[in-house]
A and B are shown apart, each in its own frame.
Chain A
Amino acid sequence: MKKLKKAVCLLLAVSMAVLAGCSGGTSATPTPTEQASSEPTLLRATCTATPETLDPARGTGENDLIIFVNLYESLVVPNRETGEPEPFLATEWTTSDDGLKWTFKLRDDVVFADGTPMTADDVVYSMERMLALGEGYAYVFTDILGSVKAVDTYTVEFDLKSSFGPFLTALTCLKIVNKTLLVANTVKDNSYGDNGDYGKEYLLTNSAGSGPYVIKKFTIRESVDMVKNENYWGTLPAEAPDEATFTQLTDSATTKMMMASGDIDLAHGHQDNETLQALLTTEGVKSAVVSEDGLNYFMMNTKKAPTDDVHIRKAISYACDYDALIAVYGDVEKPNGPVPPNLFGADNTIQGYSYDPEKAKEEIALSKYADNLADYPVELAYIQGNGDTGKLTMLLASNLEAVGFKVTISEVPWVLFCNNEAAVDTSPNVTNAFCSANYPEAGSLLEFKYASWTTGNWNQNEWLQDATFDQMITEALKTVDNTERLQKYSEIQKYLVNDVVPSVYAMVSATKPSWNSKVFTWPVSEGKMYASSEYNYYLANFVMLK
């Protein structure tokens, strides 16, 4: 028995040593040394998720757009400061008096990444393709666009069925794809008749645009590798990164370590405050607050007791400790109404609600639930794993309890959350989520948030179904004249804040990207932010320092 014990111990010791040897042996390799200046420059960034496809007709998320702006281009781009559309692939345009016919003159010097010149045909194809697919931004145009045709090689004409004020702004959503390339790579006999699969399969892993970068390698939910487009028709500075990788990375502990050891240069802007502070302790790492076209909303179900009473909704708006919410999130603005202050069409004269527990109690007393509030618990819900929304919900819940509400909280997985929102009965009293405009204008956000035709989804727990609002937003969107349209947007915002009170406008939606300032600088470093946040990630504006 003794001998055996010894033998086993020896075996154990030996195998330990072997294992230790293994790790020791591999440790001999040095860590990667700094790149020589002649080598191509590489930017290593992280994202919360890679796009699901490189098809600009299908993606609308922040992660999609950050990549798409580098691969594809549009007829017009939003101005950096005002967000107003400016010429890009189109040099000029004219509108008929009734606002139904739009004619665009295209640049004649644009070539796609494979060298094919861009013509009006590509624009027509891109639009028709997007509508046929029906995904992404198609809904913006589906109901209003009659037809699109190429007048000559460099002239495109859009005929609208009804006038649509934000048409020009909305065109920033239409990314132009290379028709010749996609037709050559179409899978025949598919969902779209003669057009086969419309090149959907090809665009799962390839790009077909005219932007300053092209795809080197794309692996869904892992990483997107882009390199400079050698055929780029415009100017692409030499200091811009030769190659850029966006890696999907959500784990904050890993992010902290990789930033500290110089394995990443740019961390995505959805870190929680504690992680961000830790990231900033690394020398040279900086961060900035980049506002987005949206808000954080506490959406109150206007069709379910007790939040069906406007006094209760006002009470909740007063009970909310806005400063505490903002403290959780960091350095962001408090909005006064349903539209973020920097979005085209926001009315910044509105006086919103502020933290006032006494007023909240007064409003409760005015409501029909004043006597039996305890019988109507307020049910708060948030999406599981959705950044800080859980924290915000907890804070509001504690505020509500303080003024006399009875509350319940539930953390709901995404799929279930969406399912609950499909019907009024299963939609909770209050939900918390971030919502952004689909195209950079107040009308987009207002429609998305409150129109009757967007109920049944996660973005509208309010179930507003308000005929007055529907009428107002439809009218506003039809108005072609900018000043007049803005006036109408302003009236809608006042109506919502003063009369309906459908939501608590907690804070302006913002991301807080952090980056290693020793590796590169970008316009954000100098405080130059784009009104449309994805354009901040336009890699051609980056200056690599190594």
Chain B
Amino acid sequence: MVNTVNIQTVKKVNPRAEAMKKAWYKFSRNPLSVLGLVVVVGVIFVAVFATVLAPHPEDAGLSIHMTETFQAPGLAHLAGTDEYGRDVFSRILIGLRYSLAIGLLVLAISVPFGVLMGLLAGYYKGRLIEAIIMRFTELFMSIPPLILAMVICTMFSSKYIFAAIGIAVAWWPWYTRITYNLVTSLSNELYIVYTQLSGVKMMKIIIQEMLPNIMSPILTKMSLDMGSIIITASSMSFVGLGVQPPTPSLGEMISSGIKYLPNIWWLTIMPALMVVLVVLGFNLLGDGLSDVLSVEEK
């Protein structure tokens, strides 16, 4: 924002930058948080440059090597080969791209919307708007996601972006529900009541006072949801929504690999490890951020 230099109070020079600096200091003090950041940046980097980094990028397409099927992980193929003789490592890298995109897209749609709805419902507790919002969350929770996916698939197309929309439509009510409960609890806190009494606008209260206070559980849920979304996305293919073969996605690789367990374990375990890595990164980062946020409140 605007960097106004106030002569009278030197301490307040550029308060935002100051706060950021402090937050970063706090953040960087925790090695786990930094590790989280590194993993997330690394994972995104890998996803973006997957086709360059993958040893056999053509294996994400129609290439088939029937003479090299089911090779165990080794030097030739770091994560082994699958039932078509394709390099699992390359497919994980390229599959990461779609899975990450779906995870981020779903969160980008469902979290802001869900949290906003929760804030509104919580703030207007006892009014009609609360009842409407909360009953609609129930409605959307009750519709099986696969039905939503089928409808979306029929009305639009089966592109994976619509898979993301389908999952997001089923996902937002959870955020609404949790935000709503936090807000109804928070709005009884003394400082919120005082702020309200002192005539501060409602929007301002929500954004400045409430939002930061509920960020921690929301961030935790978001970072946990990365993994669940990647897995859920694979079940969307039951109804033909999502990435189509031969294009890989991590969830689809895991679910199509399970029938080869236990002897051919790498088809399941290797992509699952990648999902673990992604979720680990986002969680460490999320924890770090929520630590910083809750300290800022002090």
User: Do B64 and A395 touch (CB < 8 A)?
Assistant: yes
User: Do A391 and B83 touch (CB < 8 A)?
Assistant: yes
- CB-CB nearest in chain B for A407: B62
Bound-complex Cα distance A278 to B259 (A) = 11
* The one of A384, A391, A407 that contacts B237, using a Cβ cutoff of 8 Å: A384
User: Do B259 and A411 touch (CB < 8 A)?
Assistant: no
User: Do B246 and A394 touch (CB < 8 A)?
Assistant: yes
Interface string of A316-332 (1 = CB under 8 A from B): 00000000100110000
Chain B positions within 8 Å of A328 at CB level: 66
Binding site for A on B (CB under 8 A): 62-64, 66, 70, 83-84, 153, 158, 237-240, 244-246, 258-264
Bound-complex Cα distance A278 to B246 (A) = 26
User: Do B264 and A384 touch (CB < 8 A)?
Assistant: no
- CB-CB nearest in chain A for B259: A252
Within residues 365 to 400 of chain A, which ones have a CB less than 8 A from any CB in chain B?
A: 384, 390-391, 394-395, 397-398
Closest Cβ–Cβ distance, residue B273 to chain A (whole Å): 19
* The one of A274, A407, A411 that contacts B83, using a Cβ cutoff of 8 Å: A274
Chain A positions within 8 Å of B63 at CB level: 398
Bound-complex Cα distance A401 to B246 (A) = 13
A24 at the interface (CB under 8 A from B): no
* The one of B64, B158, B258 that contacts A253, using a Cβ cutoff of 8 Å: B258
User: Do B240 and A274 touch (CB < 8 A)?
Assistant: no
A140 at the interface (CB under 8 A from B): no
User: Do B237 and A401 touch (CB < 8 A)?
Assistant: no
Task: Report 7 cross-chain contacts, Cβ distance below 8 Å, ordered by A residue.
Answer: A252-B260, A324-B66, A384-B240, A394-B64, A409-B62, A412-B240, A416-B240
User: Do A398 and B62 touch (CB < 8 A)?
Assistant: yes
* The one of B239, B258, B264 that contacts A274, using a Cβ cutoff of 8 Å: B264
Bound-complex Cα distance A253 to B255 (A) = 13
Within residues 240 to 259 of chain A, which ones have a CB less than 8 A from any CB in chain B?
A: 251-253
* Contact A411 B263, CB 8 Å, known A274-B83, A391-B83: no
| Interface residues of B, dominant DSSP | loop
Chain B positions within 8 Å of A407 at CB level: 62
Binding site for B on A (CB under 8 A): 251-253, 272, 274-275, 278, 324, 327-328, 384, 390-391, 394-395, 397-398, 401, 407, 409-413, 416
Bound-complex Cα distance A251 to B244 (A) = 23
Given contacts A275-B260, A384-B237, A416-B240, 16 further A-B contacts (CB under 8 A): A252-B260, A274-B70, A274-B264, A278-B263, A327-B66, A328-B66, A391-B83, A394-B246, A398-B63, A407-B62, A409-B245, A411-B237, A411-B240, A411-B245, A413-B238, A413-B240
Chain A positions within 8 Å of B239 at CB level: 413, 416
- CB-CB nearest in chain A for B63: A398
User: Do B62 and A397 touch (CB < 8 A)?
Assistant: yes
Bound-complex Cα distance A411 to B158 (A) = 11
Closest Cβ–Cβ distance, residue A82 to chain B (whole Å): 37
* Contact A253 B259, CB 8 Å, known A274-B264, A391-B84, A407-B62: yes
* Contact A410 B259, CB 8 Å, known A394-B246, A395-B64: no
Chain A positions within 8 Å of B244 at CB level: 409-411
Closest Cβ–Cβ distance, residue B197 to chain A (whole Å): 35
User: Do B240 and A410 touch (CB < 8 A)?
Assistant: yes
User: Do B240 and A398 touch (CB < 8 A)?
Assistant: no
Bound-complex Cα distance A253 to B261 (A) = 6
Closest Cβ–Cβ distance, residue B294 to chain A (whole Å): 19
User: Do B84 and A384 touch (CB < 8 A)?
Assistant: no
